[in-house]
Structure 1
């Protein structure tokens, strides 16, 4: 099976490197391209055998499994370039959440899926969200999830929950990294502890907490209860956060959903020529 990847930006390169390092796909099986060819060539230099194509249509015409890893505003020209070079037997996978399955089905003849990867896939961890069109067979789903299982835990979700699922699995690492950053900055400013030491402590804490919430059998609520002794120091910290952060996560979800809906409208405007106010 030949695998194509159009777009070697942030997430495209994460997928390429994770697939190769995990052994999911051999470099010789992959054909990649990018609007700036030099970026694809740098990856090829790092992974001998990885092949670089000079156009999107070349990748589309020579691969059975094709990942499209471009920004929403770049989708229309990519689709227009590759649509005549795709066949019904091919499986095209978009990683761009505001581009809906119906958008792709309206413009392309092949089988369609959407996956939402995470930066955690770079270390062969986390989840990948999987969303399928009706054109996909059980065999198509098994094939894609077998590839993704080398770098993540593939989880099927309904397209209507794409945004909130992405908030938790894909945006979540950045949100938690922000929390760790601010926690460390406050520790340094308030106590004088070395930033490097505080960063190591907080990062190892985050790693261990993730294990407790997955393989350790704890839920978020039960973990808090286990750590926080009534009337103790942890309990006092939790009381403060409950007071100061009240409503912030609702606001966070509303903000990401508003941006997502805006991006969907922009995609539809470009694909169908409709006006967006």
Structure 2
């Protein structure tokens, strides 16, 4: 299988590394396409046996699958720069937030489109990706896509494309929410007089441990919270403040705003 990636940024390159790591493609069958030549040297170091080009250079694209990994705001500009004609049997996999299948089909004049929304832990092979497809994509073709996506973590097929904007807001943007909370906890530790590096250690390990406990426990989240928050204790004091400040509602509203922004990106 030959794969071309339009947009050799963080996500495009992390996908490439996963495909090569699990030997889903050969290095020589990977074609990385970027906007400017300034990235060539760095990309060549990481992918010495793969082809690297700029958008302007590509007149014909020899690939079974073309992954669109550019920013959604740049998609129209990329379409304007494309100088090759898509062949009928070539599949498109878009990992752009917000841009719907119908718009991709229209701008590229091509019907074979799968749309996916990964998140940044794909860099470690621990991501999760929601994906859906246009009509006409066969089951065997979807199995190929799923196999590729699973090399970056886990994947979930969605029948309803409308749900992908919610996936974008929930898991696509989700890592940043956790970083935001972790940052607030670390800063609180520093304010209490704990050395910053030590505060980071306490918070990161607490988050890691809490994740594993949540993942391996049969208890609900409410029960796990109650296990820590004894009546009249320190945890209850913190949770009461979170409730008074409307933290849960603010997080929920923020995620809904992220979903609205994903919808706006489709134009």
TM-score (norm 1): 0.86
Aligned to 1:73: 73
CA RMSD, Structure 1 to Structure 2 (Å): 2.3
Structure-2 change in CA distance of 1:133 and 1:57 (3 Å): farther
Aligned to 2:16: 16
- 1:29 shift after superposition: 2.4
Q: Distance in 2 between matches of 1:117 and 1:246?
A: 25
**Structure 2 residue runs without a partner (length 5+):** none
- 1:145 shift after superposition: 0.6
- 1:200 shift after superposition: 1.7
- 1:60 shift after superposition: 6.3
- 1:6 shift after superposition: 0.8
Aligned to 2:170: 168
Aligned to 2:87: 87
**Structure 1 residue runs without a partner (length 5+):** 266-277
Tell me the alpha carbon deviations over residues 202-230 of structure 1, each in whole angstroms, 9 at most, x when there is no partner.
11222222233334445433321333233
Q: Secondary structure at the match of 1:53?
A: strand
Tell me the alpha carbon deviations over residues 228-264 of structure 1, each in whole angstroms, 9 at most, x when there is no partner.
2333322332222122115202320342133223322
Aligned to 1:264: 266
Q: Does structure 1 retain, via aligned residues, the 8 Å contact 2:125–2:152?
A: yes
Whichever structure has more helix as a proportion of its residues is 1
Report the more deviating stretch, 61-70 or 215-224. 215-224
Q: Does structure 2 retain, via aligned residues, the 8 Å contact 1:229–1:235?
A: yes
Structure-2 change in CA distance of 1:161 and 1:184 (3 Å): same
Aligned to 2:42: 42
Q: Does structure 2 retain, via aligned residues, the 8 Å contact 1:33–1:59?
A: no
Written as runs of structure 1 = structure 2, the 5 A alignment for 1:1-277 is 1-55=1-55, 58=58, 61-82=61-82, 85-107=85-107, 108-157=109-158, 158-190=160-192, 192-244=193-245, 245-265=247-267
Q: Secondary structure at the match of 2:123?
A: helix
Tell me the alpha carbon deviations over residues 166-207 of structure 1, each in whole angstroms, 9 at most, x when there is no partner.
2221211111101101110111012x1111111122112222
Report the more deviating stretch, 7-16 or 62-71. 7-16
Number of equivalences: 264
Tell me the alpha carbon deviations over residues 18-75 of structure 1, each in whole angstroms, 9 at most, x when there is no partner.
3334544442221101001332441221232122124367386211011111122321
Q: Secondary structure at the match of 1:78?
A: helix
Q: Does structure 2 retain, via aligned residues, the 8 Å contact 1:33–1:40?
A: no
Q: Distance in 1 between matches of 2:189 and 2:249?
A: 25
Q: Distance in 1 between matches of 2:67 and 2:126?
A: 20
Q: Does structure 1 retain, via aligned residues, the 8 Å contact 2:125–2:151?
A: yes
Q: Secondary structure at the match of 1:252?
A: helix
